[in-house]
Amino acid sequence: MFLQILDPSAFAGEEAFAGQMGWIARACTDNPPRPGVDRVRLPGQGALERKARQLRDGVALNPAILPQLQPWLDKFGMAAPAPLA
């Protein structure tokens, strides 16, 4: 694994960096998707969409999870959150 972290302010500045990254993102998403795919997505885009949906609608839990959490809720004197309608 290789990780490189750069500070945009040490080069052209944050505004130029944001503009260039926006251009690259649009260049990617403006391309036609491959056959059988509805759209071109960027790395992390699906996770951000799930996060927004879960913040809006709540997190769907597998029915087996809450019973497994119950002993911990009891131990720490907490109540399980109410399910969303």
- Would the pLDDT of 85 be above 70? no
Q: Assign 70 to helix, strand or coil.
A: helix
Whole-number Å distance between alpha carbons of 42 and 24: 10
Q: Which tokens is 76 given?
A: 């720490």
Spatial distance between the Cα atoms of 56 and 7, rounded to a whole number of angstroms? 33
Residues across the chain: 85
The pLDDT tens digits for 15-64 are 999 999 999 999 999 999 999 999 999 999 999 999 999 999 888 888 89
Give residue limits of the domains in the chain: 9-75
